[in-house]
Chain A
Amino acid sequence: MTGLRLGLALAASVLALGVAQAQTPTPKKGGTVHVVVQPEPPMLMQGLNQNGPTNMVAGNIYESLLRYNEKLEPQPSLAKSWEISPDAKVYTFKLQEGVTWHDGKPFTADDVVFTLDKFLREVHPRWRPIVNAQVEKIEKVDDLTVTITLKQPFGPLIMTQEVASAPMIPKHIYDGTDYRANPANNTPIGTGPFKLKEWKKGSYIHLVKNENYWLKGKPNLDEIYWQIIPDAAARAVAYETGKVDVLTGGSVDVYDVARLAKLPNTCMTTKGWEMFAPHAWLTPNVRNGILGNKQFRQGLMYAIDREFGREVVWGGLGKLPTGPISSKTKFYSSDVPLYAFDPKKAKELIKASGYKGETIRLLNLPYGETWTRWTEAIKQNLEDVGVKVQVENTDVPGWTQKASNWDFDLNFNFLYQLGDPAMGVARSYITSNIAKGNPFANVGGYSNPEVDKLFAEAAIAPTDKERQELYTKVQKLLADELPVLWLLEMDFPTIYRCNVKNLVTTGIGVDDGFRDAWKE
């Protein structure tokens, strides 16, 4: 009896130990991780270039004031703490102590002021409009304190300090130089957990541990190799043969995802894209005849089998959207008119709209097989309800040109939400963003003064509650008007070996660096 009890107690304690270990495993030091990056980044100077692949690699070299968790709440990074004044106009950032650049020089408030007020104001397409329209001044208080004073309350400001949106740039290297021509762009100097050791063009980018990283004990890994493999099928094979440990989101084709996820010691996560929350849709060019008719657009929405697209074309990844704001983004509201797949209703609406059999040109997005399949499926959906569709195929430059010059009837697109509707959502619907030359502007040409007003007011409303009310209104309005046909809240799964731990810990995922990652 006692023996049994003892045994039980022992087993229990062993179990408890096991559980405890599973909950808080001690990160192991050292190790090398191989990650794919595709396509090869044009450069690694993140202040000057924010392409997807640049962000993935450079997010380890550079850092920003804040990080964001999966709920998109701000977390400390280079800023130890921050305060917002009661009138919501002054943001005070306290910086971490003992931070140095990769070249040994100390990181101070001067660098922050230089970065935000001079460098990024000049070169960063996302920061420039914000700083010019909203910010009155950016000042150094002391070596470790910076304040940003706004012209009026602007809630989204706290969401702008993500590493790709506001990477800290060393003043001692860039001040007074021609930023784009500075030779230091080839040898990026940041404060991040990893340093650039070697970039063998067309082959790999080799990052090594920053021994003097300000967060003691981090990073855990010694080295990261970013492997450049141009072909999607070859990337999948590289994972299977063990050449790489991590396949970043979007680096293998959708149909390979399910197969790879079943391999032994393989984990998959769709987390780490909360900040970007890619939202895919079809843009009708409302300038072109019948597409300007709301009933016709609603008819199209009822005609498209979006669930089929999600389930069959995208292999079950993602979620059906209800409106302009992704359900992953703040201020989402589900209180909107919904469009289920209903060909009968679609036919009625299209008939009522006065459609006379005009051919609608559908521009395919040349981002690979999956998009082409989606185009084919949607074309068939529309033809089933009597809409004549002509698919147009082109390459990426051709697509960019056609989309930016409004040369389409229906066009696929997917845009990042960037954490706040004021940054990632409004741009696709407001009148002031109808401009040729940018495929990610309001290319459909939808213009509604009420929508403009709601978005403008929502961006600067002082409290979240007031912002939510305005955004709820605008979502309801847009879901009825359908300036674009929302198709999918996309998921980009990251596939990795299960012994790589803590890989995706923030709302930016792999892009936010391998600071906390470790290898078992």
Chain B
Amino acid sequence: MNFLKRFARNRGALIGLIILVAVVLFAILAPSLYPQSPWRTVARPFLAPFMMERFPLGTDTLGRDIASGLAHGARVSLTIGLVSTIVALLIGVPLGAIAGYAGGFIDDALMRFTEFFQTIPSFALAIVLVAILQPKLGSIVLAIGVVSWPPVARLVRGEVLSLKTREYVQAAITIGQPTSRIIWSQILPNTIAPIIVMGSLMIGSAILLESSLSFLGLGDPNLMSWGYMVGAGRTRLLDAWWISFFPGVAIFLTVLALNLAGEGLNDALNPRLARERE
């Protein structure tokens, strides 16, 4: 039974994947669908959705096309989600691997360090980081990465702890492979599956985190993102619900899709678990 078949057996995962592909396509095609800047005023402000064919989702407080904002915002949200997850993995995976393999004092020290980050509310820390570093794309990615690596480190550590007692690792030690090589070529490849699953879920929470920051006005002011759109429209919620509603739906669908797909990945990559569940 191959991987794709196992993945497709999970209905939710399939739906999630379809939504995700649609969002990614939407993001990739944004510049050709909406060649104009999403910040440009194109019609009268507060145009309700479905009133004009050219602006199916209406316009916002300054007469900017919401559909165009959604498309360009998809690029920003997905990019930030992806890149900041990579940042988190780059911090979390090596730390977890070293801690798990070395054990003893190094393990203790690294885990206390991880816990230190876990005890600070991640959203508060992200706000502080962005406020100190000024709201820019780089600082937002960094802040999200910095607050979301601890679970990765713990996951990788656990995996490494169990893998390092396996025979093939013992064998590698016996034949005198250097430690770095053992971690890199014997252990880490076997932790890839749970990391991928966790990573896909992390993209979702990174998108949520970025949206929350933008909602509070801590987004990059030069980038149109979904969180910004929700935040900018919230004060007009009573008389122009659509300004916040559509980007809100976009965030909801994308994060949901990522979670469904992540769940499916988990099942597909861990067949024994999936079979037990049935």
Contact = CB atoms under 8 A, between A and B. Distances in A.
A21 to B, nearest CB: 39
**Nearest 3 A-B pairs (CB), nearest first?**
A391-B221, A393-B221, A380-B39
Interface string B72-108: 0000000000000000000000000000000000000
Nearest to B239: A259
B41 A233 contact: no
B131 A383 contact: no
Contacts of B39: 376, 379-380, 383
Given A255-B61, A372-B217, A377-B62, A390 B222 contact: yes
Contact of A312 (B63, B217, B239): B63
A388 B39 CA distance: 14
Interface string B203-230: 0000000000000011001100000000
Given A372-B221, A380-B41, 7 more contacts: A259-B239, A312-B61, A313-B62, A380-B37, A380-B40, A392-B221, A393-B135
Contacts of B236: 255
Nearest to B38: A380
Nearest to A393: B221
Nearest to B231: A369
Interface string B3-45: 0000000000000000000000000000000000101110001
A393 B217 contact: yes
Contact of A395 (B40, B41, B131): B131
A373 B39 CA distance: 10
A312 B63 CA distance: 9
5 contacts: A372-B232, A373-B62, A383-B39, A390-B222, A392-B134
A285 interface: no
A308 B134 contact: no
B210 to A, nearest CB: 15
A253 interface: yes
Main secondary structure of the interface of A (DSSP, over half): helix
B235 interface: yes
Contacts of B62: 312-313, 373, 376-377
A259 B237 CA distance: 13
Contact of A364 (B41, B61, B131, B221): B221
A79 B24 CA distance: 73
A432 interface: no
B229 to A, nearest CB: 12
Most chain B beta-carbon contacts within 10 A, residue among A313, A375, A380, A384 = A380
Contacts of A379: 39, 222
Interface string A302-315: 00000010001100
Contacts of A384: 40
A51 interface: no
A390 B41 CA distance: 18
A376 B229 CA distance: 13
A405 interface: no
Main secondary structure of the interface of B (DSSP, over half): loop
A383 B40 CA distance: 10
Contacts of A376: 39, 62, 221
A353 to B, nearest CB: 23
A187 interface: no
B46 to A, nearest CB: 10
A392 B135 CA distance: 8
Contacts of B221: 364, 372, 375-376, 391-393
Interface of B: 37, 39-41, 45, 61-63, 131, 134-135, 217-218, 221-222, 232, 235-236, 239
A383 B37 contact: yes
A394 interface: yes
Nearest to A394: B134
Most chain B beta-carbon contacts within 10 A, residue among A259, A313, A376 = A376
A394 B217 CA distance: 9
A219 to B, nearest CB: 36
Nearest to B221: A391
Contact of B222 (A233, A259, A391): A391
A178 to B, nearest CB: 37
Interface string A289-306: 000000000000000000
B42 to A, nearest CB: 11
A253 B221 CA distance: 20
A373 B61 contact: yes
Contact of A369 (B41, B134, B235): B235
A375 B221 CA distance: 10
B133 to A, nearest CB: 11
Contacts of A393: 134-135, 217-218, 221
Contacts of A313: 62
A379 B134 CA distance: 19
Contacts of A253: 235
A6 B58 CA distance: 63
Contacts of B37: 380, 383
Nearest to A313: B62
Interface in A211-259: 233, 253, 255, 259
Contacts of A394: 134
Interface string A356-383: 0000000010000100110111011001
A394 B239 CA distance: 29
Contacts of A373: 61-62, 232
B73 to A, nearest CB: 14
Contacts of A390: 222
Most chain A beta-carbon contacts within 10 A, residue among B37, B135, B235 = B235
A369 B232 contact: yes
Contacts of A308: 41
A384 B40 CA distance: 9
Interface string A141-153: 0000000000000
Contacts of A255: 61, 235-236
A312 B59 CA distance: 13
A377 B235 contact: no
Interface string A385-408: 000001111110000000000000
B193 to A, nearest CB: 41
Contacts of A375: 221
Nearest to A309: B62
